[in-house]
Amino acid sequence: MKLIHKFTLLYLLITLVVLIMGGVFSYHVIKKEVDKEQTRYLKRNIDFTMQELSRGIYPDSLFQNKMEVQTLDMSIPEIEFFVRDTLVWLNYLKRFEPQVKVSASRKIDDRHYYISTYGAIVDTQDITDAVVTSIGGIFLIMLIVTALVSVLISRKILKPFNRTLKAMRSFRLREKKPLSLMSTSTSEFKRLNLLLENMTEKMQDDYAALKEFSENASHELQTPLSIIMGKLELLMDSDISDEQARLIHSAQNAVDKLSKMGQSLTLLTKLGNREFESPGPIDFSTLLKECLFAFQELLEMKSLILEENIEDGVLISMHPVLANILLNNLMSNAIRHNNPKGVIRVRLNQDHLEIANTGEALSGPPEEMFERFRKNEPNSQSIGLGLSIVKQICSQNDLHICYEYRAGMHVLQISFKMLSNSA
């Protein structure tokens, strides 16, 4: 949900609560004022009747609808004005209705008169309906006005913010272009843009330094490793004992492992920096067949049976280099962790790629196998980075990789969105 929509909903919720509270308050105020005016009107009628009695008007001539005049004993003290609620039967409605009754007594010319009158009380339901209608109308008007204002704010006031988001989405570290943001008069957006510009400038500097360091480190590391490997090969060709040959062979394996680890870490760094952009769709079917052909001799050497079912014309959007690395790592993993005379099953269709190999069940949680330097067998010659690289490649290309162990086989499946052959 957009920020402006959240503000709008919160504002309308607060407005609704305030209007409900205001409606309750208005109901009581209106009822009180109406009752007060009705009582005042009835008191004026009683005062007028008393004035007429003081002028000597005979009481019987003052009788009128809702007005009563009675004569009391002179010994009874005067009754001050008092108001009370009562129920009066109304013939035309055929029911009792609530009424307000005002009464008082006065001694006039040696006579004691008791005067009372009553009038209808405004129905509380009528007041409630009036208040609800007015509050509902106000809320509807505010709803419409708020919606229009929200659209205006979203298009006008938040325009620099939306432009900033668009610029950040298109920003690329490796392009070495400074981030250019839209100027704005809003102080909060100014501070945000300044922070982003400074932050991206520092990111570009850090990225350039890190890239230079990783490239130099990889290059400088490979040189002494190559020298060491060459010296060890010379030693292997010289007159040495079996024990010395075994030690030299062990050193060669360690150097080779160190060289592969350096290359893999450099690749992971490049993947993390997103240096591989997809140039367009590639023929994944052809690429997979070429990969299997390259591993044919190694499969025969290890007496592994390859079962393949590859559908032609499978296209995916991925950089060719990453696709080769992905397939090579998956096949290397299937060969390295297979049983003697085991089976490798490769299936490719328009929905997914599945590579399965025979082998013993994992000793640890399956989700850990994609972590760096995680190996199922501690003494394995693997550097523990192959599946981590596979996972990183899948994440950057919106591919989903999952693992399961079924029927004595390790199954790695990569699901992807296909492109049509006309793409």
**Rounded Cα distance, 67 and 60, in Å:** 11
Say which residue, 302 or 319, is predicted with more confidence: 302
Q: Mean pLDDT over residues 202-216, rounded?
A: 73
Say which residue, 230 or 306, is predicted with more confidence: 306
pLDDT tens per residue, range 146-186: 888 877 777 777 788 888 888 888 777 666 777 778 787 87
217 and 258 Cβ atoms separated by less than 8 Å: no
Q: Mean pLDDT over residues 384-400, rounded?
A: 77
What is the pLDDT, as a whole number, of residue 383?
A: 40
Lowest mean pLDDT among 192-206, 231-245, 298-312, 391-405: 231-245
What is the pLDDT, as a whole number, of residue 218?
A: 65
Q: How many other C-beta atoms are found inside a 10 Å radius of the C-beta of residue 40? A: 10
Say which residue, 79 or 262, is predicted with more confidence: 79
Say which residue, 290 or 66, is predicted with more confidence: 290
pLDDT of residue 422 exceeding 80: no
272 and 391 Cβ atoms separated by less than 8 Å: no
pLDDT of residue 14 exceeding 50: yes
What is the pLDDT, as a whole number, of residue 419?
A: 45
**Among positive and negative, which fits the CA dihedral 106, 108, 113, 115?**
negative
What is the pLDDT, as a whole number, of residue 384?
A: 52
Q: Show the tokens assigned to 297.
A: 């001799």
pLDDT of residue 34 exceeding 60: yes
pLDDT confidence band for 365 (50 / 70 / 90): low
Q: Which domains does the chain have, with CATH numbers?
A: 3-144 (no CATH), 187-272 (1.10.287), 281-415 (3.30.565.10)
The phi, psi pair for 397, rounded to 5°, reads -115, 20
pLDDT of residue 260 exceeding 70: no
Say which residue, 352 or 88, is predicted with more confidence: 352
- Residues contacting residue 130 through CB under 8 Å, at least 6 positions apart: 30
**Rounded Cα distance, 224 and 138, in Å:** 81
- Residues contacting residue 362 through CB under 8 Å, at least 6 positions apart: 369, 376, 405, 410
**Cα-based distances in Å from 400 to 114, 128, 353:** 95, 60, 10
Q: How many other C-beta atoms are found inside a 10 Å radius of the C-beta of residue 34? A: 15
Query: Nearest CA to 398 among 376, 422, 414?
Result: 414
pLDDT confidence band for 345 (50 / 70 / 90): very high
- Residues contacting residue 14 through CB under 8 Å, at least 6 positions apart: none
Lowest mean pLDDT among 165-174, 197-206, 217-226, 258-267: 258-267
DSSP for 280-328, written as a single string: SEEEHHHHHHHHHHHTHHHHHHTT-EEEEEE-TT-EEE--HHHHHHHHH
**Cα-based distances in Å from 399 to 258, 331, 390, 393, 396:** 30, 18, 10, 8, 8
Among the ranges 1-10, 296-305, 382-391, which has the highest mean pLDDT value? 296-305
pLDDT confidence band for 259 (50 / 70 / 90): low
The phi, psi pair for 354, rounded to 5°, reads -130, 125
**Rounded Cα distance, 401 and 394, in Å:** 7
pLDDT of residue 85 exceeding 80: no
Alpha carbon 14 to its chain centroid, in Å, reads 23
- What angle separates helix 284-294 from helix 320-336, to the nearest 10 degrees? 40
What is the pLDDT, as a whole number, of residue 421?
A: 43
23 and 136 Cβ atoms separated by less than 8 Å: no
**Rounded Cα distance, 164 and 154, in Å:** 14
Q: Mean pLDDT over residues 102-112, rounded?
A: 86
What is the pLDDT, as a whole number, of residue 48?
A: 82
177: left (phi over 0), alpha (psi -120 to 50) or beta: beta
**Among positive and negative, which fits the CA dihedral 320, 324, 327, 330?**
negative
What is the pLDDT, as a whole number, of residue 284?
A: 87
Share of the chain above pLDDT 90, in %: 4
What is the pLDDT, as a whole number, of residue 215?
A: 66
pLDDT confidence band for 367 (50 / 70 / 90): low
Q: How many other C-beta atoms are found inside a 10 Å radius of the C-beta of residue 423? A: 9
69 and 63 Cβ atoms separated by less than 8 Å: yes
pLDDT of residue 378 exceeding 50: no
What is the pLDDT, as a whole number, of residue 62?
A: 60
Among the ranges 1-5, 76-80, 214-218, 415-419, which has the highest mean pLDDT value? 76-80
Q: Show the tokens assigned to 84.
A: 């009370």
